[in-house]
Amino acid sequence: MAFDSLSEKLQNIFKNLRGKGRLSEADVKAALKEVKLALLEADVNFKVVKQFIKSVEERAIGQDVMSSLTPGQMVIKIVNEEMVSLMGSETTEIALKPGSEITVIMMAGLQGAGKTTTTAKLAGKFKAKGRKPLLVACDVYRPAAIEQLTINGNKQGVEVFSMGTNQKPVDIAKAAIAHAKNNDFNTVILDTAGRLHVDEDMMNELIDIKANVSVDQTILVVDSMTGQDAVNVASSFNEKVGIDGVILTKLDGDTRGGAALSIKAVTGKPILYVGMGEKLSDLEQFYPDRMASRILGMGDVLTLIEKAEAQLDADKAKAMEEKLKKAEFDFNDFLEYMGQIKNMGGISSIMSMMPGLSGQMKNVSIDDDEAEKNMRRTESIIYSMTKAERSNPDILNPSRKNRIARGAGVDIADVNRLVKQFEQMKKMMKQMPGMMKGAKKGRFKL
Ligand code: GDP
């Protein structure tokens, strides 16, 4: 199974840590040394490993331990978070144009990586989403590849466009797009030719297609079992052709998982899907957080950590509620509150969650980017305040406001606006205990 050997090693290392009540710096360092070895043995890129261990160590040493966790669990929590961030944090969707507009996707990869199979798997996913995919056989060197695509396309109930082996791939792509336009297909997937190794002809062919056809997404298929070779292949394709994302195949048979852990960090390009078997249904969307828990194999500890975090959120929300009741809300709380807002997915999503407000907000559109910019400006204004000013906004006279404006690089009018907003918010929050209830249900993430 995927990641079995890496998982087993990490679990043994953490088992030793979990039992300990207190962890010394030496304990953490010794454990991380073993984690480092386990990752290197799993064929994770050595630079990635070095950076990973450094980040974990910096965070693990000197970190306050949450009251409901043991120090060992705290280290696991940090390793888990860093692993999620290593793999890109968020799930990346393949960007598709809306409606009948045609999205052209070019599939690339070495021979045997699983490109043709994956192309058909992907077409099935798109079809399930209500898209109209057209598969295009651009591998003119191997008649068997055209046949394989046709068979798999048929199994998926997706049309396969082919012009045999006597046309240039770029001409086939152009003809396929014309065919798609005339027949209402909105997702054209080009299955290009692979080679046994990265070679110039193959790259040039892809570059040629990109130069002559408006390709929206270039997706590289790499074989997870080849470990660091897969990462190197991804780097080469990205440098020469430019790729938008990677599909990692054969993860079902890869016990080490080095490619999955290195690709994003080395190439900067996300893993979009992973192949988990030979069947056409064996393609899974890539979720960095689920993958990290799978690697750490510690569902129980991770659940415990989640609970501890939820408890911490609830404690903080409760403290905030108390403050509000007593009207003690100051700019320090305002900063914290803004952090919560960010974590809750921006102003517009909060508005939609507020009872009574969502109806009124129906016709008001909020630009989250603009809101985020404003939030950043607000943050820099608050950071320019002294401790005393933050905790006692009443002392903000014009000369103080002037100094703050200069410190934050904004106009004094911006500072005045913020102070006014702050007063309004204080009032508004007193009237809205409902928001705090939402927080206790775990919607607040600090
Ligand atoms: P191409 O040369 O890159 O087009 O590769 P193919 O699509 O022909 O696949 C090569 C082999 O890998 C075939 O036997 C596939 O069934 C197999 N394969 C592809 N994806 C996966 C996967 O995710 N898991 C497993 N176990 N096998 C896969």
Residue 299 is predicted with a pLDDT of: 57
Q: Which domain holds residue 27?
A: 4-86
Within the chain, which residues score under 50 in pLDDT?
352-363, 436-446
- pLDDT reported for residue 356: 42
User: Which residue among 296, 322, 338 closes a domain?
Assistant: 296
Atom of ligand 1 nearest to the CA of 111: 2
Q: Where residue 313 sits, what CATH number does that domain have?
A: 1.10.260.30
Strand arrangement, sheet containing 283-285: 159-161, 133-137, 187-191, 103-109, 217-223, 245-249, 271-275, 283-285
For strands 271-275 and 283-285, give the pairing. Answer: antiparallel
pLDDT of residue 340: 67
* Residue 293, pLDDT score: 83
- How far CA 221 is from CA of 114, 123, 269, 423, 441, in Å, comes to 7, 14, 12, 55, 41
Residues 368 and 426 reside in one and the same domain: yes
Backbone angles phi, psi at 33, to 5 degrees: -65, -40
- Same structural domain, 307 and 283: no
Same domain as 305, residue 404: yes
Residues 44 and 139 in one domain: no
Is residue 358 domain-shared with residue 282, that is, in the same domain? Answer: no
Residue at 93 is within a domain: no
In 226-342 the beta strands, taken as DSSP E runs, fall at 245-249, 271-275, 283-285
Q: Among 26, 61, 86, which residue terminates a domain?
A: 86
Note whether 290 and 151 are same-domain residues.
yes
pLDDT of residue 178: 97
* Residue 302 confidence (pLDDT): 65
Pick from 151, 272, 278 the residue to mutate for probing ligand 1's pocket: most ligand atoms within 8 Å of its CB: 278
DSSP state of 154: H
Cα–Cα distance measured from residue 214 to residue 217, given in angstroms and rounded to the nearest whole number? 9
Coil, helix or strand at residue 191: strand
- ipTM for the assembly: 0.99
Token pair in block for residue 115: 């490109």
Give the pLDDT of residue 274: 95
Indicate whether 269 and 388 sit together in one domain: no
Cα of 299 vs centre of ligand 1, distance in Å, is 30
| Nearest Cα to Cα of residue 224 among 198, 259, 255 | 259
At 219, which amino acid appears? I
Q: Tell me the average pLDDT of the chain.
A: 84
pLDDT per residue over 63-114, tens digit each? 666 666 777 777 888 898 999 999 998 899 999 999 899 999 999 999 999 9
What number does the ligand 1 atom closest to the CA of 145 have? 4
Output the CA 336–ligand 1 centroid distance in Å. 49
CATH number, domain of 80, equals 1.20.120.140
Q: Write down the pLDDT at residue 256.
A: 86
With 0-12 CB in 10 A as exposed, 13-18 as middle and 19+ as buried, what is 133? buried
Same domain for 60 and 107, yes or no, is: no
Looking at the fold, whether 290 and 308 belong to one and the same domain comes out as no
Residue 231 lies in a domain: yes
One domain, residues 137 and 50: no
231 contacts 263 by C-beta, under 8 angstroms: yes
Is the domain of 161 the same as that of 22?
Answer: no
Q: What is the CATH number of the domain that holds 125?
A: 3.40.50.300
Res 76: pLDDT:
83
* Digit-coded pLDDT (tens) for 350-389: 554 444 444 444 445 556 677 777 778 888 899 899 988 9
User: Domains in the chain: how many in total?
Assistant: 3
Packing angle of the helix pair 71-86, 288-296 (nearest 10 deg):
140
